[in-house]
């Protein structure tokens, strides 16, 4: 659950960060912060750039709650991509 909303997630053991879909952000009116710098993220479709982050996102998995900073981008069908958290 993210903000008491169920989500569809991909666990990517090769990802060094966590990501949240820009459409999930918009659908649930989740507050984000614009960063002073940009992150260049390598994907299977090339490099994408993000300068927005959801700080201290409360994620509940298997009855455990985690606080995770998530970069905002188009996650191609998933609400979250969970990297090494």
More confident residue, 62 or 1: 62
Mean pLDDT of 31-58: 90
Amino acid 43: pLDDT: 79
Is pLDDT at 20 greater than 90 in this prediction? yes
Tell me if 2 is assigned to some domain.
no
Amino acid 33: pLDDT: 96
Mean pLDDT of 18-28: 92
Distance CA 64, CA 33 (A): 25
Distance CA 28, CA 39 (A): 24
Q: Considering the entire predicted model, what is its pTM?
A: 0.84
Tell me if 44 is assigned to some domain.
yes
Tell me if 70 is assigned to some domain.
yes
Residue 20 in contact with residue 75, Cβ under 8 Å?
yes
Question: Would you call 71 helix, strand, or coil by DSSP?
Answer: strand
Mean pLDDT of 23-29: 92
The mean pLDDT value of the chain amounts to 87
Domain enclosing residue 26, as ranges = 9-82
Tell me if 4 is assigned to some domain.
no
Q: What is the CATH number for 76? A: 2.40.70.10
């Amino acid at each position: 659950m993210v903000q008491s909303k169920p989500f569809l997630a991909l666990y990517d053991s090769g990802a060094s960060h966590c990501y949240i879909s820009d459409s999930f952000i918009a659908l649930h009116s989740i507050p984000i912060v614009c960063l002073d710098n940009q992150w260049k993220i390598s994907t299977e479709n090339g490099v994408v750039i993000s300068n927005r982050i959801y700080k201290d996102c409360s994620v509940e998995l298997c009855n455990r709650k985690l606080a995770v900073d998530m970069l905002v981008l188009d996650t191609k069908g998933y609400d979250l991509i969970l990297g090494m958290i």
